[in-house]
Amino acid sequence: MRRLLISIIVLDCLAGCAESTSLDEGQHIVGVVTSTSSATTPVQRPGPFTLVGAAGGLLGTRAAASVDGQMHIHNRLYVKTTAGEVVVDTDEYFAPGSCVEITPLIGEQSVAFFPYRSAQIIQSGKC
């Protein structure tokens, strides 16, 4: 039992020391916008049916299927950084050649693609 406990502690320490590809909280990515395009994300409305359990979920799904699907149009920015290209979906628009700073939301694991509303992007003078 003691040997198992020691093995678990050693493995836990080694796993904690392993290199991680995710960003730390508050870490910023700085780069230059190389191009932009439009992207769409489906609008998700939870609705009142989700509050009444499985039967409400079934009714809500059928009601939502009868309504035309709405899409939210936003900007997709391609940003060149020292580590490579990063793609960010945002409401903000920055012209190609603009220096920007990307701040991922807490818990965001990607370092190459940030879906809509998963990162904040602002103009920067750090390029």
State pTM to two decimals: 0.61
Quick one: pLDDT at residue 14?
41
- Residues 91, 95, 97, 99: is their CA dihedral positive or negative? negative
More confident residue, 71 or 11: 71
Instruction: Give percent of the chain with pLDDT exceeding 70.
Output: 58
Structural domain boundaries of the chain?
25-123
Contact between residue 105 and residue 120 where contact means Cβ atoms under 8 Å apart: yes
Alpha helices in the chain (DSSP H): 2-17, 53-66
Chain segment 7-25, per-residue pLDDT in tens = 455 445 444 433 334 555 5
Alpha-carbon gap, residue 24 to 85, rounded angstroms: 19
Class of domain 25-123: mainly beta
More confident residue, 50 or 114: 114
Chain segment 84-116, per-residue pLDDT in tens = 999 999 999 999 999 999 999 988 778 899 998
Quick one: pLDDT at residue 61?
56
Cα 52 versus chain centre, distance? 30
Name the CA radius of gyration of the chain, rounded: 21
Single-letter code of the amino acid located at 117: R
Single-letter code of the amino acid located at 70: Q
- In the predicted model, is pLDDT for residue 66 greater than 50? no
Average pLDDT over residues 65-81: 78
- The b/e string for 56-95 (b: 16+ C-beta within 10 A; e otherwise) is eeeebeeeeeeeeeeeeebbbbbbebeeeebebbbeeebe
Nearest to 86 by CA among 95, 94, 77: 77
Average pLDDT over residues 38-58: 62
